[in-house]
């Protein structure tokens, strides 16, 4: 199977242009926002536009749900699709989708700037922001069972008099629920709390002394997390650090849908592990053996 990537920032009109790009590059299938589309039919998947918030929509679009991913993989394997157009907001997103669906990496990439003018992209973004309208590259009759209640307009080309595009499939315009909620952001405090929970579960760590989160202006490049900790003496430092890095990346990306580029772990010092005794016995030992013996005769 040949894979063609179609990449552009969110809201610049990728789904609107998808059918034309697929036609020009002889793609007989499209992956867009969690759906597998062949011609005018939805073969498998669930649209990200059915989700109630933007975070869940992103997870749906990159096939993070195992059942969803398995369904689309199975449909792809049983289809006659030879060339697949995969739509994403970045090269990394397309790569993630290809990896999850177990399909080849793109052999060719088309960027939205190649097929759309700056003015057209600006207009598409304004429509997305002001009116909450999203395009799905399938006819309304096919889309309605999947997105009942959120259809906005009839297919774009239904009343078109331009005969040149008669052979191309239609597209529908919808308004997802998450469009009404505005922009959703995840605070650095949320990321820090996730890190604390992960670190707390590691028995080799005494405590955290510092957590810092740094995010670039281009969020698709991924955040960097700086973690400073104190370990118990005798802990296998390399294994503990690698385990923390792996688990923090997994949990932060899984819970926030934001990419993590680096996790820098600094070991500030080592401390002696306290004896494994109940608290009241530790207090008694700290107070002296003589005091503990005098209590029964008091």
Instruction: Give the pLDDT confidence score for residue 4 in this predicted structure.
Output: 96
Measured between alpha carbons, how far is residue 199 from residues 22, 253, 276 in Å?
Answer: 46, 16, 20
Distance CA 122, CA 108 (A): 25
Distance CA 55, CA 121 (A): 23
Per-residue pLDDT tens digits of the chain, which is 298 residues long: 999 999 999 888 898 888 889 999 999 999 998 999 998 888 999 888 877 777 888 899 999 999 999 999 999 999 999 999 999 999 999 999 999 999 999 999 999 999 989 988 888 888 777 777 777 777 666 666 666 555 555 444 433 444 444 455 567 677 676 665 555 678 899 999 999 999 999 999 999 999 999 998 776 678 999 999 999 999 999 999 999 999 999 999 888 878 899 999 999 999 998 876 566 665 665 555 444 444 444 3
Question: Using an 8 Å Cβ cutoff, are 14 and 134 in contact?
Answer: no
Sheet holding 134-136, edge to edge: 134-136, 172-174, 151-153
List the CATH code of the domain at 188-271: 3.30.70.1350
SS3 at position 41: strand
Instruction: Give the pLDDT confidence score for residue 279 in this predicted structure.
Output: 60
Instruction: Give the pLDDT confidence score for residue 291 in this predicted structure.
Output: 45
Domain limits, CATH 3.30.70.1350, in the chain: 188-271
Domain limits, CATH 3.40.50, in the chain: 2-131
pTM: 0.55
Distance CA 190, CA 194 (A): 6
Residue with the two structure tokens 């792809």 = 76
Residue with the two structure tokens 């003589």 = 290
Fold of 2-131: Rossmann fold (3.40.50)
In order, the DSSP letters of 213-273 are EE--SSGGG-EEEEEEEEEETT--HHHHHHHHHHHHHHHHHHHH---EEEEEEEEEEEEPP
- Angle, helices 188-200/237-256, rounded to nearest 10 degrees: 140
Q: Compute how many other C-beta atoms are within 10 angstroms of the C-beta atom of residue 152.
A: 14
- Angle, helices 91-101/66-77, rounded to nearest 10 degrees: 80
- Which residues have a Cβ under 8 Å from the Cβ of 265 and sit 6 or more positions away? 227, 228, 229, 241, 244, 245
Distance CA 245, CA 247 (A): 6
């Amino acid at each position: 199977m040949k894979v063609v990537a179609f990449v552009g920032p969110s809201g610049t009109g990728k789904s609107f242009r998808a059918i034309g790009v697929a036609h020009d590059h002889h793609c007989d299938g499209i992956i867009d926002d969690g759906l597998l589309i062949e011609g005018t039919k939805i073969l498998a998947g669930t649209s990200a536009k059915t989700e109630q918030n933007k975070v869940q929509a992103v997870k749906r679009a990159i096939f993070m749900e195992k059942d969803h991913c398995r369904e689309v993989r199975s449909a792809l394997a049983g289809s006659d699709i030879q060339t697949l157009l995969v739509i994403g907001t970045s090269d990394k997103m397309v790569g993630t989708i290809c990896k999850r669906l177990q399909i080849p990496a793109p052999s060719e990439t088309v960027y939205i700037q190649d097929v759309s003018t700056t003015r057209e992209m600006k207009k598409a973004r304004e429509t997305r922001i002001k009116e909450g309208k999203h395009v799905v590259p399938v006819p309304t009759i096919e889309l309605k069972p999947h997105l009942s209640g959120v259809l906005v307009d009839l297919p774009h080309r239904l009343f078109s008099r331009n005969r040149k595009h008669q052979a191309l499939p239609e597209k529908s315009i919808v308004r997802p629920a998450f469009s009404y909620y505005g922009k959703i952001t995840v605070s650095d405090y949320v990321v820090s709390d996730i890190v604390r929970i992960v670190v707390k579960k590691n028995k080799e760590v005494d405590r955290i002394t510092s957590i810092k989160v740094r995010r670039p202006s281009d969020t698709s490049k991924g955040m960097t997390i700086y973690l400073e900790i104190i370990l118990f003496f005798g802990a296998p430092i390399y294994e503990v650090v690698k385990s923390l890095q792996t688990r923090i990346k997994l949990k932060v990306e899984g819970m926030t849908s934001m990419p993590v580029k680096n996790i820098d772990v600094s070991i500030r010092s080592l401390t002696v592990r306290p004896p494994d005794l109940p608290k009241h016995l530790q207090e008694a030992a700290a107070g002296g053996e003589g005091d503990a013996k005098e209590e029964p005769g008091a």
